[in-house]
Amino acid sequence: MFNIKKYQIAIHFEETNRESVKLKRISKGQSLLEVMLTNNIEIKHDCGGVCACSSCHIYINKGSEHLEEMFLKEKHFVDRAYKPAIHSRLACQCLLVDDSGSVEFTIPNY
């Protein structure tokens, strides 16, 4: 018998009175933007997820080691985001690269 490994993802919202969401059994190979959209969690994505805006800005709280590393183009757009921080990323560029793990992030309140 084999063990199918998947991600657990917790999404928090800076927006007051909005409850956190926990997702289980998320497969690798998806971006965090794709994970949110397929689970009906709204987030802006003005450029359609091609790293040409800053609208999908998120804060990674936990599990950054499971995400594809940040390249220069993403860093450029993160710097233009609303309230960028050391743990800022663009959700469309955060690809889940390991077989399994736990990732936790916050969507800023714009």
Contact residues: ligand FES, CB under 6 A: 45-47, 49, 51-53, 55-56, 77, 90, 92
Give the list of residues 6+ apart from residue 65 with CB closer than 8 angstroms, or none.
98, 101
Residue 28 or 44 with smaller CB distance to ligand FES: 44
User: Closest distance between ligand FES and the C-beta of residue 32, in Å?
Assistant: 10
CB of 2 to ligand FES, least distance (A): 35
Closest distance of CB 95 from ligand FES, Å: 12
**For residues 25 and 52, is the Cβ–Cβ distance under 8 A?**
no
Q: Considering the complex, what minimum distance in angstroms separates the CB of residue 5 from ligand FES? A: 27
Using the minimum distance from each CB to ligand FES, give the nearer residue, 6 or 41.
Answer: 41
CA 64, 66, 67, 70 dihedral sign is positive
First to last CA, the chain: 47
Which of 23, 38, 102, 36 shows the shortest CA–CA distance to 65? 102
- Nearer to ligand FES by Cβ, of 9 and 54: the residue is 54
